[in-house]
Amino acid sequence: MIVITGYVVQYSFFGTIYSQVQGSGFVYNYNNDMVVITNKHVVDDAENITVTFSNGNGYAASIMGSDAYSDLAVLSVDAPLEEFQPLEITSSSSLQVGDPVIAIGSPFGLGGTMTSGIISQLGRTIQDSVAGNFPIANIIQTSAAINPGNSGGPLLNYQGEVVGITTAIIQDSNGLGFAVPSNTILREIDSLINTGTYDQHPWVGISGTDMTYEIAKTIGTNVTYGWLITQVTNGGAAAKAGLKGGNKQAQIIDEWVIIGGDIIIAVDGTRVINGDSFMSYLEEHTNPNQTITLTIIRNRQTQDVSVLLKQRPSIS
């Protein structure tokens, strides 16, 4: 169990203000080099980062690499080899809803705290300020208790293997925690350590809303699943492929929805239930410069459209 602390410096009219940040992490053996994996938001803009092991020994650490779009960071720690107790990372592909899991972290500074729960759902998307306006896709939802300070700690299966890294909670909720899946860590770790970043997130360049029975009834289709495109970004992959965004607003029960755009119902033959499933598929199975086939409904007709994915723009 590892506790990570650092200080964020802010300058104001009253002088320099230091705010302490705290989170969790775990050790990973990368080609015989011991590194610590955590969340980017734990160490973002932080100075004087330290890593404290379960025996109380603390050491200086530095950021080797980070990725805002998956909220991952890798740290190098100036500590003797005997301090490191690495964990095994296994594939998250075999996870199923209902699987038991364990979360370890330091909520509210209480180091070495262990909680248990189950995999509540897979393929969620969450919004986090660290990723700017882009969602973080393909996220695990778990009922294991996660509190402030847990961020960056491992989510383990009952074999003690890492299947995710706890990353977020919904404030004032009960049993709603989220974790980045281990497949994301395994996919990015080489690039994070060797280049300091990861730039292989695919980008379509669209915004949308989940289809519902009420929306389907309003626009005159019998398809109640999928993702309705509301806006297409100029210069994006979708614009180049000729995908259409919405062109008018309609009041559906108590909210206004932009309608008139294409409805994405499948990607490469895989059913798209909603925006979560679409974005999670892209994150797990595709890369920039890869061509995907989107099955869409346009003017009540089903058609396939080829889209050459682009690289997601960096956060400015």
**Could you give the residue numbers annotated as active site?**
41, 71, 151
Site of tokens 């119902």: 265
Return the closest-CA partner of residue 309 out of 238, 257, 249, 256. Answer: 238
How far apart are alpha carbons 144 and 100 in whole angstroms?
9
How far apart are alpha carbons 69 and 136 in whole angstroms?
6
Residues 6+ apart with CB under 8 A from 168: 71, 126, 128, 146, 151, 177, 178
How far apart are alpha carbons 219 and 202 in whole angstroms?
30
Contact 90, 80 (CB under 8 A): no
**How many other CB atoms are found less than 10 A from the CB of residue 56?**
8
Give the type of residue at 300.
R
Contact 70, 198 (CB under 8 A): yes
Contact 112, 54 (CB under 8 A): yes
For 169-228, the DSSP string reads: E-TT-SS-EEEEEHHHHHHHHHHHHHHSS----EE--EEEEE--HHHHHHHT-S---SEE
Return the closest-CA partner of residue 77 out of 33, 112, 19. Answer: 33
H/E stretch holding 279: helix 275-285
